[in-house]
């Protein structure tokens, strides 16, 4: 299954590496890729294919997009504004920013009006998560969860 991880910091890259090890095709977008040439090599070593622009999603996903946002909660709304033009009905966005549930509900309602699903995902595991696994607490529509369940 293909997934795009937005935010390839410690948590995002660790989760991406675990997914890649399990046979998923993982793509990564991070604003720091523009200014940090070493980051591209680092995430590629983890099995993550870097992308330089959200428009590339149309080539990555044959049908439904699956996007995991792994940025601090304060940046989630900014990421959503940036990716919204590239989203289509039936896509699934997973908010892994450990957001307040009221913010997640607001974001989900906004996306739902366009036929896009959002799952709120609380992520725990820190630096040990890469090796030992992450604890994920998922909330949202069961239909969307069943689709991304193999990733989670």
For 4, 92, 115, 136, 146, the CA distances from 16, given in Å and listed in that order, are 9, 17, 26, 14, 19
pLDDT tens sequence across 5-18:
999 988 899 999 99
Residue 123, beta-bridge partner list: 136
Q: Is the pLDDT of residue 111 over 90?
A: yes
Check whether 49 has a pLDDT greater than 80: yes
Question: Which of 70, 111, 109 lies closest to 91 in space, CA to CA?
Answer: 111
Instruction: Please state the pTM of the whole predicted model.
Output: 0.93
pLDDT single digits (tens) 53-79: 999 998 888 889 999 999 988 899 999
Distance spanning both ends of the chain, measured CA to CA: 11
Length in residues, the chain: 152
Q: What is the pLDDT of residue 123?
A: 87
């Amino acid at each position: 299954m293909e997934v795009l991880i937005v935010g390839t910091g410690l948590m995002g890259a660790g989760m991406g590496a675990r997914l890649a090890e399990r046979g998923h095709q993982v793509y990564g977008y991070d604003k720091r890729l523009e200014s940090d040439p070493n980051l591209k090599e680092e995430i590629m070593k983890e099995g993550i294919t870097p992308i330089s622009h959200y428009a590339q999603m149309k080539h990555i996903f044959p049908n439904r997009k699956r996007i995991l946002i792994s940025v601090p909660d304060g940046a989630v709304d900014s990421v959503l504004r940036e990716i919204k033009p590239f989203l289509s009905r039936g896509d699934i966005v997973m908010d892994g920013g450990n957001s307040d549930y009221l913010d997640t509900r607001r974001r989900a309602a906004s996306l739902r009006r366009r036929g896009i699903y959002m799952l709120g995902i609380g992520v725990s595991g820190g630096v040990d998560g890469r090796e030992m696994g992450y604890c994920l607490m998922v909330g949202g529509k069961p239909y969307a969860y069943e689709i991304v369940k193999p990733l989670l």
